[in-house]
Structure 1
Amino acid sequence: MMVKEIYRAVKFICCIEFWRMSLLWTLSLVISHLRIFALRVWGHKYRNFPRQRVAPISASNRPICIITGATSGLGAAAAKALLEEGFFVILVGRSAHLLSKTKAKIHTLNENAQLETFEVDLSSFSSIMKLKNSLVQWFSDMNLHPSIQLLINNAGILATSYRTTDDGFDEMIMTNYMGAFCLTKVLLPLLIDSPVPSRIVSVSSFTHRNVYDLQVDEEFIYGKPSNFKQYPFAHIYGCSKLCVLLLSYELHQQFCKDKKSQLSVNVADPGAVKTNIMRELPQCLSQLAFLVLNLLGILQIPEKGVSSIIDAALAPPEISGMYFFGGNGRTIRSSPLSYDLMLAKRLWWISSEIFLEMKHKSERSTALSTCD
Structure 2
Amino acid sequence: MIMVVINLIKDLWRGLHFVLSIQFWRMALLWTLSVLVSHFQLLKDSLFSHKIVYPRCSSSTFPNTPVCVITGATSGLGFSTACKISKEGFVVVIVGRSEQLLSETIRKIKDLNEDAQLKAFQADLSSVESIIKFKDSLRQWLLDSNLHCSVQILINNAGILATSPRVTAEGYDQMIGTNYVGAFVLTKLLLPLLENSPVSSKIVNVTSFTHRAGRVDEGTVSGKKFLSSKHYPYAQVYEYSKRKRHILDELVQATLYL
Identity %: 48
The 3-state SS of whatever aligns with 1:225 is helix
* 1:146 aligned onto 2:149: yes
Structure 2 residue aligned with 1:168? 171
Matches within 5 A, 1:79-228: 79-211=82-214, 213-216=215-218, 220-225=221-226, 227-228=228-229
Mapped to 2, the partners of 1:122 and 1:196 lie a distance apart of 27
Q: CA deviation at 1:107?
A: 0.9
Q: CA deviation at 1:122?
A: 0.5
Mapped to 2, the partners of 1:232 and 1:56 lie a distance apart of 47
Conserved? CA contact 2:176–2:223, under 8 Å? yes
Aligned in 2, Cα 1:39/1:71: closer, same or farther, shift over 3 Å?
Answer: closer
Give the letter for the 1:10 counterpart.
L
The 3-state SS of whatever aligns with 1:80 is helix
Q: CA deviation at 1:50?
A: 6.9
Structure 2 residue aligned with 1:250? 251
Q: Normalising by the residue count of structure 1, what TM-score does the alignment of the two structures yield?
A: 0.64
Give the letter for the 1:67 counterpart.
I
Matches within 5 A, 1:274-289: none
Structure 1 residue aligned with 2:29? 23
- Tell me the C-alpha RMSD between the 2 structures: 1.9
The 3-state SS of whatever aligns with 1:221 is coil
Structure 2 residue aligned with 1:8? 14
Deviations 1:251-295 (A, max 9, x none): 111113xxxxxx1xxxxxxxxxxxxxxxxxxxxxxxxxxxxxxxx
Unmatched runs of 5 consecutive residues or more in structure 1: 257-262, 264-372
Deviations 1:150-185 (A, max 9, x none): 000000000111011222211100000000001111
Residue range with higher mean Cα deviation, 83-92 or 225-234: 225-234
* 1:54 aligned onto 2:58: yes
Give the letter for the 2:235 counterpart.
A
Give the letter for the 2:34 counterpart.
S
Give the letter for the 1:204 counterpart.
T
Structure 1 residue aligned with 2:3? none
Aligned in 2, Cα 1:57/1:222: closer, same or farther, shift over 3 Å?
Answer: farther
Mapped to 2, the partners of 1:92 and 1:143 lie a distance apart of 21
Q: CA deviation at 1:56?
A: 4.8
Give the letter for the 1:112 counterpart.
D
Structure 2 residue aligned with 1:233? 234
* 1:77 aligned onto 2:73: no
Q: Normalising by the residue count of structure 2, what TM-score does the alignment of the two structures yield?
A: 0.91
Aligned in 2, Cα 1:58/1:214: closer, same or farther, shift over 3 Å?
Answer: closer
Conserved? CA contact 1:57–1:195, under 8 Å? no
Q: CA deviation at 1:37?
A: 2.9
Give the letter for the 2:53 counterpart.
F
Give the letter for the 1:173 counterpart.
I
Mapped to 1, the partners of 2:52 and 2:208 lie a distance apart of 19
Matches within 5 A, 1:31-70: 31-40=37-46, 43-49=47-53, 52=56, 54-56=58-60, 58-59=62-63, 61-70=64-73
